[in-house]
Structure 1
Amino acid sequence: MRKMLRLFAALMVTASLAGCAGGQASETPKAAPAGAQAEGEGGSAKAWKPEKDINVIVAYKAGSGTDTGARILCSIAEKYVGRTLLIVNKEGADGKIGYTELANAKPDGYTIGFINLPTYVSLAQEPDSVFNKDSVTPIVNHLFEPSVVVVKKDAPWNTIEEFIDYCKAHPGEVKCSTNGVKASNHIGIQLLAKKAGFEVSAIPYGGTADQLLALRQGEVEVSVPKAGDVASLTGENGELKVLASYTEQRLEDYPDVPTLKEKGYDLVYGSARALVAPAGTPQEVIDFYVDAFSKTMEDPENIEKSKNAGLSLSLMSPETLGEYIDEQDDFVKNTLPTLFD
């Protein structure tokens, strides 16, 4: 398990780059069901129950990939939580507004939220950040979403080779929308640019929904979102086309789309989306949510709805998620500087 996570986190711009496996839930890092562990600790998961509705902070706008997954998960989780889970969108500043509110919330169990990795730890390391990686307490990981290279359907490039060749011949000319400066999708395009030896002009839009809108409207020529973010925008009647995926094997939903590894670029990359609580939240509260959301993750309705939305479920216990956050923090600290020098 730990070996898999370390491969998953050690995304290096070198020939030895390693990472997580591709776009299927069965290929992503897994841990033993966290709920089983919580229930086995003297029944502590039942020691606390919420007495009022719970706010769930999403640091991105309604309709974003994080928001879509959060709404599916939380709507089904209500039968295990016993209260209404209210999605609170606090978008802006590349996610910093929502993450700041989540980190500063009262640790009483009535505010929890989602973080994206590595975006959260990247923002946490900024000099002016008011939160850090220890400002939140892990509950469970929800999703792991592999990254993909997408362009408009009428773009002049039909293969990743054509795109890369054009970028090499026109350094800095191609504009790439991102979900924020040094956020997950910005990291994705920089990994490819460094590995393939080209330059693009990265333009931050503060969130994936706006990033993709910019691409659809022709403000930019390329984006590197997650596969689930473009599930409804690709295909025969879609506005976008996928040129390549950052996965070990081809994605089930895109069997004709090559991986970057197939094309000689040893890149495997994506983003995790996890549930956390403010630091200082009592252990009995964390245990309650671990139990409730672990059951939700395994609920057939959640599995079906997530699959239909193009989301890749990846359950991690709080302990494993905590290790992964530490590893992503190390990745941002030691590898990111090589991408943005």
Structure 2
Amino acid sequence: MKKLALALAVAMAIPLSAQAWTPEKDVNVIVAYKAGSGTDTGARLLMTLTEKEIGKAMIINNLPGADGKIGWTRLVKSKADGYTIGYINLPTFTTLANEKNAAFKVTQIAPIANHLTETGVVVVRADSKWQSLKELVAEAQKNDKLRCSTNGVKASNHTAAQLLAQSANFKYKAVPYGGTADQLMALRQGEVDFSCAKIADVAKLVEGDKPVLRILGVFDTKRLEAYPNVPTLGELGYYDQWYGSARAIVAPAGVPADVLEYWVNTFKKVLNDPAVKEAHEKGGLTIDFKDDKQLGELIKSQDVFAREVISKLY
């Protein structure tokens, strides 16, 4: 009894602010794209696995629209208490944050962890007449009416198309859709001529006995290990740097230090779990974990990229 009384006295003597924070109720996770999109698929997989770690439900709130602005505006304005976190896509988030009269700023989020980093690719239908990126570019240079589906105005895949077009010296018609899933469906249905997307979004569509899409080029400085026959854009004389998208977990700025520490440690543990990595690989995803400090540096670099590179593409 004396030991119990002493333990209680010690616990009561510790200030509430010094006690480790853990969620006592379910957590909302804001995803700024529709259910079934590439971002949503990755987020749902991760949050399902995270639920097992924390013992609370991670409830996905899909708030699509305006190329991500609706969801991310809600995210930065949410109460910074640890019960609302969200997903951002880079560089789309920083691109939109740098627009005139932007609804949110980079400083309104607190980095937690990077989840995925995916390389961009150029794709056409599997039955397309263009067998190579050189052929597609040659056609585009002669005919500025080729149509390219994107995942939204100034969204990540639109930026990829701009990088290709400007480095290859051609014009095209960008056709925005509600997200990557929709833009790829438009390509599959023949509504557009080509698309730029991320490798994880197209992997299942370019493989198997009856592929529906074909990869023509990769936005990287070296060929992808899984697709050694697909050239990089740089090899062909076009954009010669890596370009793709990072998908990361953040909280509203102002979240208490102990709450932020909890989420950083939780996602570090989950994303480094071999079983979690295996589950992602089965889903065609490869984890690229970065902690809060590394993610913070990535966000800063993408903010610079948005101002110095992307701003000149539109």
* 2:20 paired with 1:47: yes
**Greater CA deviation, 110-119 or 238-247?**
238-247
The one-letter amino acid of 2:51's match is E
Q: Structure 2-normalised TM-score?
A: 0.90
Q: After superposition, what is the alpha-carbon deviation per residue over 1:42-80, rounded to whole angstroms, capped at 9, x for unaligned?
A: xx9981100001011110111111111111111111122
Closer/same/farther in 2, CA of residues 247 and 308 from structure 1, 3 Å limit = farther
* 2:219 paired with 1:246: yes
Q: Structure 1-normalised TM-score?
A: 0.84
Provide the C-alpha distance between the structure 1 equivalents of 2:88 and 2:107, rounded to a whole number of angstroms. 13
In the other structure, the counterpart of 1:32 is: none
Deviation at 1:309, TM superposition (A): 2.3
Deviation at 1:137, TM superposition (A): 0.6
Closer/same/farther in 2, CA of residues 180 and 128 from structure 1, 3 Å limit = same
1:220 to 192, 195, 203: 192
Query: May I ask how many residue pairs the two structures share in their alignment?
Result: 296
Provide the C-alpha distance between the structure 1 equivalents of 2:151 and 2:250, rounded to a whole number of angstroms. 21
Q: Could you say what secondary structure the match of 1:91 adopts?
A: coil
Deviation at 1:252, TM superposition (A): 2.7
Q: After superposition, what is the alpha-carbon deviation per residue over 1:258-282, rounded to whole angstroms, capped at 9, x for unaligned?
A: 2222223313211111000011111
Provide the C-alpha distance between the structure 2 equivalents of 1:203 and 1:96, rounded to a whole number of angstroms. 18
* 2:45 paired with 1:66: no
Provide the C-alpha distance between the structure 2 equivalents of 1:96 and 1:139, rounded to a whole number of angstroms. 20
* 2:271 paired with 1:286: no
The one-letter amino acid of 1:336's match is I
> Does the 8 A contact of 2:26 with 2:56 survive in 1?
yes
* 2:138 paired with 1:170: no
**Greater CA deviation, 271-280 or 305-314?**
305-314
> Does the 8 A contact of 2:92 with 2:155 survive in 1?
yes
Question: Which is bigger in relative contact order (C-alpha 8 A, separation at least 6)?
Answer: 1
Matches within 5 A, 1:90-239: 90-171=63-144, 173-235=145-207, 236-239=209-212
Provide the C-alpha distance between the structure 1 equivalents of 2:308 and 2:231, rounded to a whole number of angstroms. 29
Q: Could you say what secondary structure the match of 2:36 adopts?
A: coil
Task: Give 5+ residue unaligned stretches, structure 1.
Answer: 1-43
**Greater CA deviation, 293-302 or 146-155?**
293-302
Q: Could you say what secondary structure the match of 2:206 adopts?
A: coil
> Does the 8 A contact of 1:176 with 1:203 survive in 2?
yes
Q: Could you say what secondary structure the match of 2:25 adopts?
A: coil
The one-letter amino acid of 2:179's match is G
Larger radius of gyration: 2
Provide the C-alpha distance between the structure 1 equivalents of 2:128 and 2:308, rounded to a whole number of angstroms. 35
Identity, % of aligned positions: 52
* 2:220 paired with 1:259: no
> Does the 8 A contact of 2:69 with 2:103 survive in 1?
no
Task: Give 5+ residue unaligned stretches, structure 2.
Answer: 1-16
Provide the C-alpha distance between the structure 2 equivalents of 1:86 and 1:140, rounded to a whole number of angstroms. 18
> Does the 8 A contact of 1:94 with 1:206 survive in 2?
yes
> Does the 8 A contact of 1:231 with 1:309 survive in 2?
no
Q: CA RMSD in A?
A: 1.6
Deviation at 1:153, TM superposition (A): 0.9
The one-letter amino acid of 1:306's match is H
> Does the 8 A contact of 1:72 with 1:302 survive in 2?
no
Q: Could you say what secondary structure the match of 1:83 adopts?
A: coil
Deviation at 1:248, TM superposition (A): 2.5
